[in-house]
Structure 1
Amino acid sequence: MKYVKNQKGYALVIVLLIVVLFLGISATFIAGSLNHSTQERTVDTSNQAVASAEMGVVFYTEDFERTLELLRNKLVSDMQRELDIIATCTGCNSGLLKTQLDTRMKAEYVNSIKTKVAHMDANDAFYLKNASADGNMNYTVDSAQAVEKPSAVEITLKLKGKAKQGDAISDSLLSVVFDVEVPNSFLVTSGYTTYDDVYKATPTITCDSLFVGEKYKTAPKPYECKLGDNQKLESLITKIKSSPYFLNPADFRVYTDKYLENVCNPSGGSSNCNSNDFQGISVVVNSGQTTANMNGLSNFKLYVSGKLIVDGNLNNSTRNVLVLKELVVRNNIQNLEKTTLAILGYENLPNAASFQIGNNITLKNNARICMNIDLVKTTDLTSLKSQITIDGTSSLLYYTSTQDPSHSNYSATGTGKKTFTLNDAASNTRVRVETNYSNFLNQCGISLSGSHTVPNVIDTGFDFDVKY
């Protein structure tokens, strides 16, 4: 009996040791699990910080594009005003004055870029943006630097992303580097642009003939040619970019009378010209009337020597230039970005061209409407006043040479021009008038052979490198 009692005592000790052992093992696993969870949260927070910094890259490169757009618009206005003064100056050395103006404006362009960068460098709190609704993710400009090079200004932005989860806080720094090109000259002395410069006669040489015997090597840019009767624009773009040519589609201006058949290349005989990236090529359509559906166009310069009818919507247009004599859109024009829409009308036919929209027009980001209100129907202009909405980075520019006797400033000396205003007060602040036709075309970025005062202000995009 005594032996049995001793055995019972040992059993109790063994059970207690096993319990302690299991508790120790469990504690180890629990501690490891908690530690692993902490590590996962730290890694996740670190990834969120990187993602926040990447959001900063997108936001602040686009912000820089907007700044360049506004700066170039100001340069256009300032330089054209001074060029007009030089043109009317008697006994002046116009060549010297233009050279001095060009030098001064180039310096102003570079200095304005540097000023923008200096502000970004010194005001990181001003550039702090939330990347999440709860404020636990944000990004800002940690530092900014501008280095002037022979033909560009190199910009380096260091962007800081920050993320927080519980007690875990992570920061991430990214560097984005890009060049803002500075042209050798802001002036080109090729003469003033006229109406006929925009719509020219179709050349006789076909696009395929340009490549025979390498004729394109001696032809001036942009290469002008006629699209073959059965040739698709898509196949021409592929040929331009392929071996042995490796040319840029943006250097070509292609003429055609068959917009739907050869440019849009619709399937099943439809009028669908949606979601096409034309890679910068210019197309001139010499026909009285063209009908198509045209949503989601990008990188396209389209000149229609007549009326363009859009059966549905003309929405989500990005980086395009659409120059038309007349436009009829059955529904809406919405979300135009970095796009110029110009309605020029028919020369010497006042109040004859249609500019009709079924519903509304919205200019979303760095977009512009240009129109010659002397040639557009008065009834259409009245409708447009209530249909157009313009955001802070877009604008409407109209041309007129017509004197309006009902204008409060009308006089025989030439003041009191015809006006166009929008009903929406905020949008109306972005409406401007131009009374010099060449300047009107240049400021819209659509002139083909005339005097450009600054590079095309519609597309200020640039490539950039991100360093992690």
Structure 2
Amino acid sequence: MNKLRNEQGYTLIIVLLIITLLLAFAATFMATSMNHSRQEQTVEAGNQAVAAAEMGVQYFTLHIDEQIRDAFIKVRNDVIEPMIGQLDMCLENGGSYGSVQCSNQEEFDAYIRSIISESDSRYREEIQMLYPESPTPGDPASTKTFQPDGSEVRFYLSRYIPQPGDTPDEIKLELTIAGEADERQEKLMTTVLISVPDFIHFINDDDPEDEDDFIKRDIYEVLFARPIAHQKCLPLSSLTPPYNCNLGTSTFGELIAADSSGTLLPKLNVLVEDFGTAVCRDKNCTQNLHGMTIYAGTSEEDVSVMEQNLNKLQNFTLVQEGTLDFEKNANNSDANFIVGSITSEGNLNNIDGYILVMGNRDGTGTFDFDKNFKTDSDGKVCLNLDGLSTIDGNYNTGGSSGELVYFSSQGKTFPGGARFNGTLEEFVEHCTGSPINLIEFTGDLPAVGTDNAVVEVRVDY
């Protein structure tokens, strides 16, 4: 009985059991704590990776925003401004310049559309080339690394695909931005929508196709148009481009004496009241006018009278809507005359250059030679018979080696002359050897547009 009550050794067993339980609890707690710590690290790495990807979205979209402005500048410099310049030259040259045609509203509008189309295509090409279509991860061009709180994280562009937008005026960019932290990677799918900017605009007309900006001018108005001159021809040192000047009471002799080098005279457009008075004074006449273009008189009623012999007149072009009256001979001339009417009491033999007699709009002009006129090998006499009511002259057909040609839509003829088959405009071009532009553009050239592209960013988490 006493043996059964002996409790020695039980305490040790109980202590060992308690220790075992404590160790088991401790191991379980430590395992749980370590697992929780790993989970927190994983979550933190994931958060950092997402944050890195978000920073990548901000970085690349900001970069794209800057780059599309550079793209617009390239398009402006390489496409818009040169094409507008070609259009300007086309209008200045009568409707054609190289491959550019702009002689009417239809051609003008078509070229405007080509500017917009070419600009749009080039702009999209520039956007396409911002990044490779499939950037290589780790490529320095698309990777940024930083170290917040001592840990290294980075982001990079893993995909860049330009696509057509939802509307023709949009460009869509599909981007995949990857963020990495402690070997944890997160990707954000990003859509960037770029509105195409306005490449050109019209200052005074938002829609250039609303009305016709081209008018056809009267051929007399074009031929006899006098340049505007706000300066006197003398002294020459005071003249500024475009060198349109009024001769006033001076003479061509005085003008030539003032330019000893002769370099400025061919650039001059000289306005005079009476060509006869300006070319001759006190029987002292100037024959060589050094390439000047001279505009005499202001209307059909004005007359320039040559009272002296003017033989060997050369090297100038005279434009006079009124009448050129030779009272004496003017043989061996090598100059160009565009006149409304011409009368002569002397001879005009061996004419080089050309004489274009347009008559008047109402058909009352005069071509009246009391004696002979004869063309030399390079000479032309061109008569618009429809503008003339008095037509009289003895053309020396036997001694002439040049050309006498006339135009008439009314069946008129001139003895010894050849009828010109074509329009009056073509007749004038044939005689002068230069194109004549009757089409006037009254609208405005387009101006370079503004970089008003809008960037919209959508991020898919």
Measured against the shorter chain, the TM-score band is: 0.3 to 0.5
Higher fraction of strand: 2
Higher fraction of helix: 1
TM-score (norm 1): 0.43
Name the larger-Rg structure: 2
